[in-house]
Amino acid sequence: MLAAMILSAGSSSRMGRPKALLPYREGTFLEHLIQATRHPRIGVTRIVLGAGADEIRTIAKLDASMVVLNPDWQQGQLSSICAGLRSLEGIETDGMILCPVDHPLVSATLVSNLIEQFYANDKLIVLPVYNSRRGHPVIFSSALYEELLAAPSDKGARAVVWAHSADLLEVPTSEEGVILNINNPDMLRDAIGPAGQ
């Protein structure tokens, strides 16, 4: 099985409010990613929180078993990945699908396709590509967990991706959302409109 790891620990300073709670369709960014990663091959979900953790946990009504608190969230995304990985100790997983909350515009169909490709191909990393640009979410094999935990903080998970270019599968997609990093109100409006639709 895989673990779904949703990263939502940043301060959202440019957005002005937690990205996890931004409206999208019938719910929020976070709720959409939780739904999109519901799949028979995903056996455990971890939501890594940091800044605004209490607000997000309360408003989103998150199951305590899903929540991982990252006290070092100010050190960047890699610290959240490491916190999430440490929470998986003792749980047998084939890998994890990494979903940053600021890349919410992905479908369950895309997630399912990435998972299918991960299990059908002998690759350590599987990621979507839109118009020759790599995006999110990314699946990392459990064989790479130790490398992710030891990755340099200034390069983060990218260092692991670069180190395994021969063991990486790019999956073409027509979903532009895989490359949309929504970090401020203008980007939010451009991507989904003023009402979160």
Rounded Cα distance between 175 and 183, Å, is 18
Residue 55 lies in a domain: yes
Over residues 115-130, the mean pLDDT reads: 97
Residue 62 lies in a domain: yes
Q: Which residue has the higher pLDDT, 194 or 103?
A: 103
Residue 32 lies in a domain: yes
Give 187's contacts (C-beta < 8 A, 6+ positions apart): 180, 181
The single residue listed with the structure tokens 């396709």 is 113
Residue 79 lies in a domain: yes
Residue 197 lies in a domain: no
Q: Indicate the pLDDT class of residue 16, thresholds 50, 70 and 90.
A: low
DSSP state of 126: E
Query: At 148, which CATH number?
Result: 3.90.550.10
Structurally, the chain folds into a number of domains equal to 1
Query: Residue 197's pLDDT is what?
Result: 47
DSSP state of 52: B
User: What whole-number percentage of the chain has pLDDT above 90?
Assistant: 70
Rounded Cα distance between 191 and 197, Å, is 9
Query: Residue 18's pLDDT is what?
Result: 80
Rounded Cα distance between 49 and 134, Å, is 25
18: nearest Cα among 183, 147, 138, 153: 183
Residue 158 tokens read as: 């990218």
- pLDDT mean across residues, the chain: 91
Residue 195 lies in a domain: no
Model confidence at 196: pLDDT above 80? no
Residue 196 lies in a domain: no
Query: Residue 19's pLDDT is what?
Result: 82
Residue 147 tokens read as: 């490398």
CA 14 from chain center: how many Å?
19
Residue 194 lies in a domain: no
Rounded Cα distance between 16 and 175, Å, is 27
Going from the C-alpha of 188 to that of each of 50, 177, 196, the distances in angstroms are: 22, 12, 8
Range of the domain at 149: 2-189
Query: Residue 181's pLDDT is what?
Result: 82
User: What confidence tens digit (pLDDT) does each residue in 51-77 have?
Assistant: 888 899 988 889 889 999 999 998 989
Q: Please give the model's pTM, rounded to 2 decimal places.
A: 0.92
CB 169 within 8 A of CB 117: yes
